[in-house]
Amino acid sequence: MNEIMAIWAEWLKPSAGLPTVQWSILLAVAAAVGHLLQRHTGLPKVVGYSVTGALAGMAGFSGGAWPLQGIALFLLELGVSVVLFEAGGRIALRWFRHNPMVLVQSLLECTLTALFVYYTLRWLGVRPTVAEAVALVAMAASPAVLSRVIMDTRASGPVTERAMVLSTLSTLYALTLVSARTGLMHRPITSLGETLFPVAVVLGVSFVVGAMLALALRMALRVMSPTSENTSMLLIALITAATALAAHFGGSAPLAALLGGMMLKQLNPRPWAWPRQLGTASSLLTMLMFVLVSVVAAKADWNPAVAGLVGALVLARGVAKVLGVGAANWGSGTSWRQAFWTGCAMSPMSSVAMLLVSQFVASSLTLGPRIASIAMPAILLMEVLGAIIATFAIYRAGESSRPSATEAPPNTLPGELRG
């Protein structure tokens, strides 16, 4: 592919640059593959996006350099922020007051995931610091993948709602802990205060940026219609500004967007759907995010030793999430069967996990590559396999209809979640 690009570069000189042409063609192919895959197999479009990106990355596509930086890193952060803002906007905090076992489920499954992955990697000979970092990354499920699965399968029900909430909460914990941990990678810790201070800084800055975002949107919704095209543009612009500012002041851009969405839900509790214009922009940004993640992850160094570590990590993570959700299921309002399928639906890893790995790489030139060598193949595997497992889990829970292989799914609004 590099040779082909070199030949193109001799005579093709577009105004926006050759990388723009490459990415435009790749996204067009990904969109077509995602549509055809869903139409003929019933699998969600995200599987097609990821497979297309992975094949391009393995073929030597030069548009996704690792470690991520500059515009590529910003676009990934923006895509994650948009998804997490929407996910946060669907969580009503008063629900936890009436059903606190959901929080217990969330904390238990995340704790077990971190412990299972850490001790599995240590048993396989991975050094403690690397195992700890990978365990923190493994905590985060993928609301982005799960939301696409829900949309493409037209899913609705308790398993769908619970899996989305638990995935969002696991992302919140992972973003906070990893952002704090990267600030202490090469600093000796002598007291509990030095351990908790970075966590407080990340949460505090992200909370302030998220609160400003929520207040600005709340004021806009007082005078603008939620279905207005101008409201859509305002929302995207404000999330973009918050994404640029949060990390600059020591917070986390995706975490700020997630907290902003949750706070807006409390300030404006009435149900509100994203308008069609925002849905289309969000869908394009989300597809770009999936393709970028798979292109970058496909360039990881695959070898038998890494394959064994990745297999053990994925297995330990899956078992921990199912056990965590099931162990705290009593009194949570769902059956044990529903708890099992909820844990399975939380299998995907994707863009959030890549952002976390990118933070570790940026903070440590020695440990970062070792963390990425294990985490990146796992992210690629679970972006594809996790989406398939989540689709199967939601179908087995009886909350979606599985399209036939010869029948195109009915039209849905881009970016609109069912459930």
Per-residue confidence (pLDDT) for residue 415, from 0 to 100 = 39
Lowest-confidence range among 130-139, 279-288, 370-379, 398-407? Answer: 398-407
Tally of CB atoms within 10 A around 86: 24
Q: Which domains does the chain have, with CATH numbers?
A: 2-396 (1.20.1530.20)
Lowest-confidence range among 42-46, 93-97, 391-395? Answer: 93-97
Lowest-confidence range among 2-11, 56-65, 171-180, 340-349? Answer: 2-11
Is the pLDDT at 63 greater than 80? The verdict is: no
Q: What mean pLDDT is predicted for residues 289-302?
A: 88
Distance CA 12, CA 290 (A): 27
Distance CA 188, CA 195 (A): 10
Distance CA 37, CA 405 (A): 9
Q: What mean pLDDT is predicted for residues 237-242?
A: 90
Running DSSP on this structure, what letter comes out for residue 323?
H
Per-residue confidence (pLDDT) for residue 180, from 0 to 100 = 82
Running DSSP on this structure, what letter comes out for residue 382?
H
Q: What percent of the chain has pLDDT over 90?
A: 47
Residue 309 sits at φ, ψ, to 5 deg, of -65, -45
Q: Identify residue 29 by its one-letter amino acid code.
A: V
Is the pLDDT at 407 greater than 50? The verdict is: no
Q: What mean pLDDT is predicted for residues 236-260?
A: 87
Per-residue confidence (pLDDT) for residue 246, from 0 to 100 = 85
Q: What is the pLDDT of residues 260-273, one digit of tens each?
A: 999 988 887 665 55
Running DSSP on this structure, what letter comes out for residue 418?
P
Per-residue confidence (pLDDT) for residue 305, from 0 to 100 = 80
Is the pLDDT at 8 greater than 60? The verdict is: no
Lowest-confidence range among 28-37, 218-227, 390-399? Answer: 218-227
Lowest-confidence range among 161-165, 215-219, 415-419? Answer: 415-419
Is the pLDDT at 386 greater than 60? The verdict is: yes
State the virtual CA torsion across 192, 193, 195, 198 in degrees, nearest 10: 170
Tally of CB atoms within 10 A around 204: 13
Lowest-confidence range among 39-48, 175-184, 276-285, 394-403? Answer: 276-285
**Average pLDDT of the residues of the chain:** 84
- The span from the first CA to the last CA of the chain, in angstroms, equals 42
Q: What is the pLDDT of residues 140-160, one digit of tens each?
A: 999 999 999 998 998 889 999
Q: Identify residue 208 by its one-letter amino acid code.
A: V
Cis peptide before 128 (omega within 30 of 0): no
Q: What is the pLDDT of residues 167-189, one digit of tens each?
A: 999 999 999 899 888 877 666 55
C-beta of residue 396 within 8 angstroms of C-beta of residue 341: yes
Q: What mean pLDDT is predicted for residues 267-286?
A: 69
Map residue 175 onto helix, strand or coil: helix
Per-residue confidence (pLDDT) for residue 114, from 0 to 100 = 96
Per-residue confidence (pLDDT) for residue 258, from 0 to 100 = 93
Per-residue confidence (pLDDT) for residue 167, from 0 to 100 = 95
The single residue listed with the structure tokens 């939380």 is: 346
Reported as a pLDDT band with limits 50, 70 and 90, residue 191 is low
